[in-house]
Structure 1
Amino acid sequence: MADKEATVYIIDLGESMGDCHNGRDESDLDFSMRYVWDKISTTVAASRKTWAVGVLGLNSDATSNPQDKEGLEGYENIEILQEIGPMTMTSLRELRGKIKPSGNIAGDAISAIVVAVSMIEVFTKKLKYKRRVILVTNAESPIDEESIEDVAQRINDIGVELVVIGVDFDDPDYGFKEEDKTAVKANNERILQALVKQCNNGVFGTMAEAVEQLAIPSIKPVKPFKAYDGLLTLGDPTKYESALAIHVERYFKTKKANAPAASTVVIKPEHGGPSQATSQTLDDEDTEMGGMEFSGVKHMRTYRVNDPDAPGGRRDVDFEELEKGYEYGRTAVAFSEADRDITRLQTEKGFTIIGFIPFSSYEPFLNMGETGIVVAQRQNEEAELALSALIHALYEVESYAIARYVQKDDAQPQILVLKPNPGVEDDFECLYDISLPFAEDVRSYQFPPLDKVLTVTGKTLTEHRLLPTDDLKQAMSDYVDAMDLSKFDVDDDGNPTEYATIESSYNPIIHRINQAVRARAVHPDAEIGPPAEILVRYSNPPGELVNQAKRKIDALIATAEVKKVPAKAQGKRSKKDQVKPLSGLDIDSLLGQSKRTSISPENAIPEFKQTLGTASDDRTVENAVKQMGDIVRKLIRDSFADLQYAQAAENMRVMREELIGLEMPALYNDFLKSLKKSILSGELDGDRREMWFKHIIRGHLGLITQDESEVSSVTEDEAKAFEK
């Protein structure tokens, strides 16, 4: 069952929260909301109905809470901005407009905590919940401390975690102390800290530390997932009495984490004017962001085949009439579902040991995929004893077990290597497993040896210009030692320690996308800030270490005689300077050839080059480019799937190179802009976007930039923007 959480945020909206303090260029409220928005947006992104959020405004202009309605005193200027419930994008947008400084400081923080605890008690009743109250304040408004013992007792009885985070609160552990603190704030800090200390589960801290901790990605806790529950066998128990069968359970030890996927949505016309498509598939449910309502994009496909008797030469066919087809050379081979059933491997759920190998025979590079953990079935002493005996036997003989694993019936089989963990170090007995490649997954390549040279006559040379000398080996060894990271960092006690540990290395793709999504959800129109420093810390070697190793790398460069290779200059020929033979004779006239004016699709590239080679004016070149462009368009339009895309791309490559040589890049750039419009608009007989992305963009056939031709007006940034 999913974890249930109920959290109430108490946000101080007092007049003083709109001021800036301690050299910050943002108000105390904006500084505090950086923490609150991050936590709330994380809840929204999780999209769990069991995570409930409520928001209270302290020192608000209005008063709205159950205690005040009952006529109790001391609950003025405390307003419920959002009742406890699931947090959505709509409620987040509504809450954003309510968070602004008020004009008074008459609210009491202790009373606000009482209201928050009461909200949680009513909502959660006696159910199992993780209850939390988070107070964010600068403690500039008076606080009544008479009843803090009763409040603390009530908090402990209900099981609420109280978190008090103050703007510019003193924190010796963090190393911060506010100078010139007012007497009111100092007294309020003392009261709030005393309240937290009386709570069984309380946290007291300063906002600067809380905001700083936001840069550290929060690791999502994952509950164990049972992937297999059945027998681990050695031999066939149905045939042999001596076969081994142990009832085991398999769980995931490591699981690949993926970045959140984008969804394609469209703005509803009644909310945002004409429908505008943005980003890849959303459910039919609508959603809102930034005041605009979005709707999921529905895909509809039609299939057509050539039919001379049908209007237009083509007719529509139903999806059920289609067969899967595979390319075999230039031929499409149909493969029916009946054929697929014959070739599909019929498997049964099972976990069978098929062999053993010594530790020394296993290479770590064979590891594939995710890691699992195999333990004995719970409350099964016989299985625990049998698995323990197997684990210790493998450990004593220093061997791994190789097993065939099928998670469920008709699933693809896997070959796993089982590593024994006898619990000597961690007091936990288990088998760790990881997938091994099949023979078809392994690619073996032959490379010449690095320590010797074999001549064509079979002679072995140990000294050669291609082999490193002893001095070069020593210089490389010194450089590697100088770049050692294992002892570069220091721990809290000042002792050398590893620089980039696994625990402090985060996936920048996943966490940066999450950071950007949260920022855009809270502030739809604001710019997304730079990535957190902890995400890019290890993208480059530390500067201090690089400086220390500079002398070693310089010595390595000198010993290896490394020299910079100058860039290869591209030869350019002008339209006026045509290539002529040494004899000075006109070869074309001697052979009776006239200047070519037309280009045929069957021999496009040679004829295109000949036309440019004999062109005497710009009009001839422009005509040749137009003909070649028409040929490229026809190849794309008439292509069955992508069969003629490569030929069209080769024609474009030749056109591009020739026009760079003739210093006429504008002709190619104009053609490419027109071609992109035709491809993306579907003018070339359907969806031809694969030609654009796979053959043009990946084939480096984009716009000719100033780096490639001095007469081009296209910059590198413009070319990259055009490719998007």
Structure 2
Amino acid sequence: MSQRVTSFILNCGPGMSKCLPGHEKPLIQEGVEIIMDSLGDKLLADRKTDKVNVIFSGTQETDNVLATQSPGQYNNITTISPIMQPDIGLLRHLSNVTSETGNAKADVMDALILAIHVLVEEYGRLRYSKQIVLITDAMDPIDWRDAADVKAMLQKENIKLVVIGSDFDADGIIKHEEEDPKISAIKDANQRNWKTLSDNVEGATMYSIQEAYESAKGMKTKEVKPTPSFRGFLNIGDPVKYSDRSLAIGIHMYPHMMEAKAPAMKKWSTLSDLALDGDQAGSSSSEPRKLSHGVEMIRKYRVKEDDTSKTDTPTPASSANLDTQEPQQDASDEVDERELEKVYPFGKTLVKITQEEEDYLQLKTSSGMWIYGFMSKSAVPRHYLLGRVYVIMADPKNKESAGMAIAALARSLYEKEAVALVRYVYRGNSEPKMGIISPFIDVDVDLLQFCQVPYAEDVRQFYFKSLDKITMKSGKVITEDHPLLPTPEMKQSMATYIKNMDLTSVDDHDHYVPEDSFNPLIWRTNTAIKTRALNEAAPIPEVHPKLLQNRTMLKELETRNADHVKEMISLFNVKKVEKQSLSKRGRGAAGKGESIADTSQMTSIDELVAGSDSKRAKTEDKGGDSTSSKTKQLSIGPADPVKDFLAMLADEQDLVTAAVTQMSALILQLMTTSFGDQHYDRIMTCLKVFREAAAKENEAGAFNQCLHQLKEMINPANPRSNRREFWQMLQKESLSLITKDEADDDEVALVTKDDAINFLKDTQQETQASKIQPDQSEDKDKMSTEDLLAMMD
């Protein structure tokens, strides 16, 4: 049950002030720590339906309800706290308990009767799970004449009893050397009676204080209330349109596995130390209120002042709001949040979207879960599973028929090794999600599991290079004799290391058990909160041995692999990378020996793309060359390269060579910086204009050279090349080399039509020889036609 009330009884008699052999703390202190650990967990959970009360037996004083009703009875029993939600005050009170708190003799059976009376009187008619935890010794005599009545009351009210014995447990008592035989007889009798009582009461258990203390100081799993996260129907088909051919199964969905998180932290501030209560703010004898140091966010909307409405009159310091550090503003400038409209940026324009328009654009959905189809379990990659895992159970209102349908579906999926693809909507008008339903089969359990999967747009494919082969750009596959591939010796060494690290081959099987592996962040945070709540100056407790155990290697494995690890370090050439220390500098500060660059002297992007000719022309222009008649040098920019290219060709100056060089550089730059096919259309347009102009202006060689460089960059021989799509565009447009039939340029005198066709068909990687111009690939001593004509003249 989620509603629970627990009564803790601690015997503070003389026997509890002793220490057990091998223990450093007295028994009463260990008992207090057991109670405080349980209360601390309840305090962190902060559940209002988890109540407790604490009763001490054997105190010097008497303070309990039964002693008031029956004077002379139930003496030396004190109710430390009534039934309440545990708070920090109760923990601080218990932390001050010492071995001198009690030392008075009392009948612990009276304390048990008192606890039963309080639980029945206050929570007897409520649907609470009731429990009594009794921590006591067996040295003091106990009146067992009321044991039958106590047993009957425990059974009638369904109260669970947990007896924690300081010197006994369910198996017997702990005898000490030179112990008085009378005390041993009393301990034997008390142990047998406690054993008989626990055996005859359903749910009653007995532990030794050592077991309880180790359990309190150890790791514990968090109890979670099983609350359904979805109540609705699992639809097979469309029950609205095809009611006779569809099926709607009433289901409840519960979280089966979820991420555990550390307690959320809140902001804390000391600025509220100056705040006073509102009633006392105007009085001269006001005192600071009790502070929580909490920080709350307050959001206000004001109309921004125009620059023209501001005056140069400074605001007096006394008129500023020093507490909130806000400038003084008129309250009339504040705007009610309900009067505001949402705007969204569309480029540089803000577009207003009203609430009606936003509601109209919102997808209208209805709550439920619909099966879209079935697929093989192997068709769903493991890394596609997102978020939490939920268990689908039958609706308790229709448990029999819905449970039968769920069991049949689970068994069918299990036998076919299949899963169901479903569409899931948590509540009406919420975003739909896709998920899979898989069978959850156990002993006498036939249920379903749900897990969310991503949409296609949410999946990003990452390609990683193979670890056992390397594919060259030419398409050749290398599987050995490469610096990036492991040698057979490396593979054998790693296989031996993995075999030697097998945990099943060691004797200590308690190491690295998943069920005993806890989150260190959560445990350390909770422990720190408990410790500092009682004492703000207390040091953080040491790390639990269980957590240290999971962080250290087993000595047996460490010794077994010591020599082999040294061999692996030498074989794999493992070297330690020294961490470079980053120099600390202020924001915007230059380092030692560095100077701040003058941005006015930096080269612009257009100039970088334009090439060296434009730089030379710009330098000459700065030098005062009288031949330059233009104040601004023409260049080709990425904004409109075709227009700039044609403008340079039509210029009065001879800028053909510069235009061709800049266009070639710009095309290669656009291909390098293109995100996917972002610049493909622009490059294609530039190539067409470039080709036509190069054929007319005797610059065909420069165009062909640009195509060769472009082919090398695309690398069509590689099937995984990211630029193969552009190469296919070139093939589709038949945009190839300029041949000797298209231009009179000597640089293409040996380029035939067949060469241009083969250039697009041949997808082999470009080599340096293929990029050499025809006049360079021939004999260097061969003269061109122009040189021969010049000699004849």
- The alignment's TM-score, normalised by the length of structure 1, stands at 0.67
What is the aligned partner in structure 2 of residue 408 from structure 1? 427
What is the aligned partner in structure 2 of residue 281 from structure 1? none
Write the letter of the residue equivalent to 1:411. S
Distance 1:508 1:182, change over 3 A: farther
Write the letter of the residue equivalent to 1:29. I
Q: Secondary structure at the match of 2:434?
A: strand
1:203 aligns with 2:215: no
What is the aligned partner in structure 2 of residue 288 from structure 1? none
What is the aligned partner in structure 2 of residue 417 from structure 1? 436
Distance 1:522 1:563, change over 3 A: closer
Per-residue Cα deviation, 1:234-272 (whole angstroms, up to 9, x for no partner): 433444467432313041222333322122355797xxx
1:217 aligns with 2:219: yes
Given that residues 29 and 98 in structure 2 are in contact (C-alpha distance below 8 angstroms), is that contact kept between their aligned partners in structure 1? no
What is the aligned partner in structure 2 of residue 348 from structure 1? 366
Q: 2:521 aligns with which of 484, 506, 509?
A: 509
1:472 aligns with 2:490: yes
Per-residue Cα deviation, 1:458-487 (whole angstroms, up to 9, x for no partner): 222222121111221111111112222356
CA-CA distance at 1:92 after TM superposition: 4.0
What is the aligned partner in structure 1 of residue 447 from structure 2? 430
Percent identity over paired residues: 28
What is the aligned partner in structure 1 of residue 115 from structure 2? 116
What is the aligned partner in structure 2 of residue 9 from structure 1? 8
Given that residues 375 and 429 in structure 1 are in contact (C-alpha distance below 8 angstroms), is that contact kept between their aligned partners in structure 2? no
CA-CA distance at 1:347 after TM superposition: 1.6
CA-CA distance at 1:349 after TM superposition: 1.9
Given that residues 402 and 417 in structure 1 are in contact (C-alpha distance below 8 angstroms), is that contact kept between their aligned partners in structure 2? yes
Given that residues 68 and 75 in structure 1 are in contact (C-alpha distance below 8 angstroms), is that contact kept between their aligned partners in structure 2? yes
What is the correspondence of 1:255-654 to structure 2 with a 5 Å cutoff?
Answer: 255-265=258-268, 274=274, 294=292, 296-303=294-301, 305=304, 307-311=306-310, 318=335, 320=337, 336-338=353-355, 340-341=358-359, 343-378=361-396, 379=398, 382-421=401-440, 423=441, 425-463=442-480, 464-485=482-503, 488=506, 499-565=511-577
Q: Structure 2 regions of 5+ residues with no counterpart?
A: 277-288, 313-326, 584-591, 604-793
Per-residue Cα deviation, 1:51-110 (whole angstroms, up to 9, x for no partner): 332222222111223443345655322222222333333444455556662464322222
Measure, in 1, the Cα distance between the counterparts of 2:582 and 2:365.
Answer: 60
Measure, in 2, the Cα distance between the counterparts of 1:301 and 1:604.
Answer: 46
Measure, in 1, the Cα distance between the counterparts of 2:529 and 2:344.
Answer: 39
For these two proteins, the number of residue pairs brought into alignment is: 556
From the two aligned structures, give the one with the greater helix fraction. Answer: 2
CA-CA distance at 1:308 after TM superposition: 1.0
Measure, in 1, the Cα distance between the counterparts of 2:360 and 2:401.
Answer: 41
CA-CA distance at 1:434 after TM superposition: 0.6
Write the letter of the residue equivalent to 2:526. N
Measure, in 1, the Cα distance between the counterparts of 2:89 and 2:118.
Answer: 21
Measure, in 2, the Cα distance between the counterparts of 1:443 and 1:106.
Answer: 73
What is the correspondence of 1:165-184 to structure 2 with a 5 Å cutoff?
Answer: 165-169=164-168, 179=177, 181=179, 183=181
Given that residues 124 and 157 in structure 2 are in contact (C-alpha distance below 8 angstroms), is that contact kept between their aligned partners in structure 1? no
Measure, in 1, the Cα distance between the counterparts of 2:427 and 2:171.
Answer: 56
Distance 1:394 1:26, change over 3 A: closer
Per-residue Cα deviation, 1:207-235 (whole angstroms, up to 9, x for no partner): 22211112333333334333334443343
Given that residues 371 and 423 in structure 2 are in contact (C-alpha distance below 8 angstroms), is that contact kept between their aligned partners in structure 1? yes
What is the aligned partner in structure 2 of residue 232 from structure 1? 234
Measure, in 1, the Cα distance between the counterparts of 2:60 and 2:419.
Answer: 70
Distance 1:334 1:503, change over 3 A: farther
Q: 1:254 aligns with which of 229, 253, 257?
A: 257
CA-CA distance at 1:312 after TM superposition: 6.1
Given that residues 531 and 540 in structure 2 are in contact (C-alpha distance below 8 angstroms), is that contact kept between their aligned partners in structure 1? yes
Measure, in 1, the Cα distance between the counterparts of 2:349 and 2:453.
Answer: 33
Given that residues 32 and 94 in structure 2 are in contact (C-alpha distance below 8 angstroms), is that contact kept between their aligned partners in structure 1? no
Given that residues 246 and 386 in structure 1 are in contact (C-alpha distance below 8 angstroms), is that contact kept between their aligned partners in structure 2? no
Measure, in 2, the Cα distance between the counterparts of 1:397 and 1:358.
Answer: 8
Per-residue Cα deviation, 1:381-437 (whole angstroms, up to 9, x for no partner): 55455444444443343322111111221111111111134x4x5232222121101
What is the aligned partner in structure 1 of residue 737 from structure 2? none
Q: Secondary structure at the match of 2:503?
A: coil
Given that residues 41 and 522 in structure 1 are in contact (C-alpha distance below 8 angstroms), is that contact kept between their aligned partners in structure 2? no
Write the letter of the residue equivalent to 2:222. K
Q: Secondary structure at the match of 2:514?
A: coil
Distance 1:312 1:18, change over 3 A: farther
Distance 1:146 1:603, change over 3 A: farther
Alpha-carbon RMSD: 4.0
Distance 1:538 1:605, change over 3 A: farther
Per-residue Cα deviation, 1:617-644 (whole angstroms, up to 9, x for no partner): xxxxxxxxxxxxxxxxxxxxxxxxxxxx
Given that residues 405 and 414 in structure 1 are in contact (C-alpha distance below 8 angstroms), is that contact kept between their aligned partners in structure 2? yes
What is the aligned partner in structure 1 of residue 702 from structure 2? none
Measure, in 2, the Cα distance between the counterparts of 1:489 and 1:176.
Answer: 32
Measure, in 2, the Cα distance between the counterparts of 1:604 and 1:130.
Answer: 80
Measure, in 1, the Cα distance between the counterparts of 2:311 and 2:30.
Answer: 65
Given that residues 403 and 418 in structure 1 are in contact (C-alpha distance below 8 angstroms), is that contact kept between their aligned partners in structure 2? yes
Given that residues 326 and 335 in structure 1 are in contact (C-alpha distance below 8 angstroms), is that contact kept between their aligned partners in structure 2? yes
Distance 1:148 1:484, change over 3 A: same
Larger radius of gyration: 2
1:41 aligns with 2:77: no
Write the letter of the residue equivalent to 2:376. P
Distance 1:489 1:226, change over 3 A: farther
Q: Secondary structure at the match of 1:510?
A: helix
Measure, in 2, the Cα distance between the counterparts of 1:353 and 1:9.
Answer: 51
Given that residues 501 and 557 in structure 2 are in contact (C-alpha distance below 8 angstroms), is that contact kept between their aligned partners in structure 1? yes
Per-residue Cα deviation, 1:150-184 (whole angstroms, up to 9, x for no partner): 444444444333322233546769x9875555556
Write the letter of the residue equivalent to 1:530. E
1:64 aligns with 2:63: yes
